[in-house]
């Protein structure tokens, strides 16, 4: 019997925002290993180049696209350029994200608006641009990275609001685009080791190793999350076999979250 890889993304064009680093890069590397051409979309040329080179040196297909997801016009241009150069996008991962943690009473308008802008406006811009191409081919997989912070987190009213908002976004997109063969799901990670959590440790004045140890104490599986853990979940939603699963939120947190 012929071997058919369960999660093959052969021939697919996959766009990963914030794909130059951390979780986005792990997702991009994993998708490329499964045969997709991965478009790394990020705002720092250096990290884009590093990610593209790493994928290509492992035999994968990747291209770099300088993009700030807040800029709707640029998003439209970049997605159009991808379609013209590589073909229609069938997988989108809304992963680009930032934190600007602060207690509510001290939070500035800029701290609030920048987090809402990157996560919510960014996902709106990229999903709107990508779905045009997905509708044309009658197939699509949209994966949006939420967070356990959607359930509420002290010092993160901006981020928690954005990540909870994304869950509503994902479900609404699932309802609208289901008839076109497009699924929309969220992956909501818990504590994952990345530059984002390293920056949090620095801000709290804690060595990263101590911060990881502290976080690990309350994780049922007894270890911290790695970007590859999120990549595995994203791959599940990206594959053809998940076609009957849409509008869902999968917590990837080493234990149950509601
Ligand atoms: P990361 O290491 O900081 O990587 C995020 C990437 O997104 C960076 O390359 C960042 O660029 C880029 N980015 C930020 N704003 C952007 C914009 N406007 N346009 C394009 N790219 C932009 O963070 P991560 O930990 O991998 O996080 C990835 C996603 O997972 C985020 O949505 C985050 O909220 C979510 N998440 C993370 C954790 C965790 O524990 N790490 C938990 C739950 C959810 P710059 O470096 O220039 O900002």
Q: pLDDT per residue over 37-58, tens digit each?
A: 999 999 999 999 999 999 999 9
The answer to whether the beta carbons of residues 134 and 88 sit under 8 Å apart is: yes
Q: Name residues contacting ligand 1 (CB within 6 A).
A: 17-18, 20-24, 42-44, 47, 67-70, 95-98, 118, 122, 145, 147, 189, 191-192, 194-197
Q: Can you tell me the mean pLDDT for 4-10?
A: 77
Q: Can you tell me the mean pLDDT for 111-116?
A: 98
Query: From CA 51, how far away is CA 68, in angstroms rounded?
Result: 17
pLDDT in tens, 149-178: 999 999 999 999 999 999 999 999 999 999
As given in the structure block, the two tokens for residue 59 are 């035999």
Mean pLDDT, all residues of the chain: 97
DSSP 20: T
Among protein residues, the one with the nearest Cα to ligand 1's atom 10 is 18
pLDDT value at position 198?
97
Give residue 79 CA to ligand 1 midpoint distance, Å: 20
**pLDDT of 23 higher than 90:** yes
Helices (H), 87-183: 109-116, 122-137, 157-177
**166 burial class (0-12, 13-18, 19+ CB within 10 angstroms)?**
buried
**pLDDT of 1 higher than 90:** no
**pLDDT of 71 higher than 90:** yes
pLDDT in tens, 186-210: 999 999 999 999 999 999 999 999 9
Give residue 235 CA to ligand 1 midpoint distance, Å: 18
**pLDDT of 67 higher than 90:** yes
pLDDT value at position 226?
98
pLDDT value at position 216?
97
pLDDT range class, residue 7, cuts 50, 70, 90: confident
**Mutational pocket test of ligand 1: of 71, 153, 190, 196, the residue with most ligand atoms within 8 Å of the beta carbon:** 196
Q: Which entry of 7, 86, 159, 251 is annotated as an active-site residue? A: 159
pLDDT value at position 131?
98
Give residue 133 CA to ligand 1 midpoint distance, Å: 25
pLDDT in tens, 134-146: 999 999 999 999 9
pLDDT value at position 3?
52
Helices (H), the chain: 22-33, 45-57, 72-86, 109-116, 122-137, 157-177, 195-203, 208-216, 227-238
The answer to whether residue 159 is catalytic is yes
Helix (H) / strand (E) containing 186: strand 182-189
Among protein residues, the one with the nearest Cα to ligand 1's atom 17 is 68
As given in the structure block, the two tokens for residue 58 are 């492992």
pLDDT value at position 5?
56
Residue 193 Cα: closest atom of ligand 1:
41
| Fold annotation for 13-190+225-252 | Rossmann fold (3.40.50)
**pLDDT of 229 higher than 60:** yes
Query: From CA 56, how far away is CA 114, in angstroms rounded?
Result: 33
Domain with CATH 3.40.50.720 in the chain: 13-190+225-252
pLDDT value at position 96?
98
């Amino acid at each position: 019997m012929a071997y058919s890889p369960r999660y093959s993304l052969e021939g697919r064009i996959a766009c990963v925002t914030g794909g130059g680093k951390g979780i986005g890069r792990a997702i991009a590397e994993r998708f490329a290993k499964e045969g997709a051409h991965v478009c790394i979309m990020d705002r720092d040329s250096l990290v884009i180049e590093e990610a593209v080179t790493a994928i290509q040196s492992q035999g994968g297909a990747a291209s770099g696209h300088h993009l700030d997801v807040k800029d709707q016009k640029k998003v439209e241009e970049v997605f159009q350029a991808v379609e013209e150069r590589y073909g229609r996008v069938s997988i989108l991962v809304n992963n680009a994200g930032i934190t600007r943690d602060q207690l509510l009473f001290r939070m500035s308008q800029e701290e609030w608006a920048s987090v809402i802008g990157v996560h919510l406006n960014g996902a709106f811009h990229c999903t709107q641009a990508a779905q045009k191409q997905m509708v044309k081919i009658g197939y699509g997989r949209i994966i949006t990275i939420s967070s356990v912070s959607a359930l509420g987190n002290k010092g993160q009213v901006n981020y928690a609001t954005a990540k909870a908002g994304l869950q509503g976004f994902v479900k609404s997109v699932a309802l609208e685009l289901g008839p076109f063969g497009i699924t929309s799901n969220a992956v909501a990670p818990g504590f994952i080791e990345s530059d984002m959590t390293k920056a949090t440790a620095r801000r709290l004045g804690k060595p990263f190793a101590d911060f990881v140890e502290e976080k690990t104490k309350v994780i049922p599986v007894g270890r911290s999350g790695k970007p590859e853990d999120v990549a595995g979940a994203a791959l599940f939603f990206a594959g053809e076999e998940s076609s009957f699963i849409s509008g869902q939120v999968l917590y990837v947190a080493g234990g149950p979250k509601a």
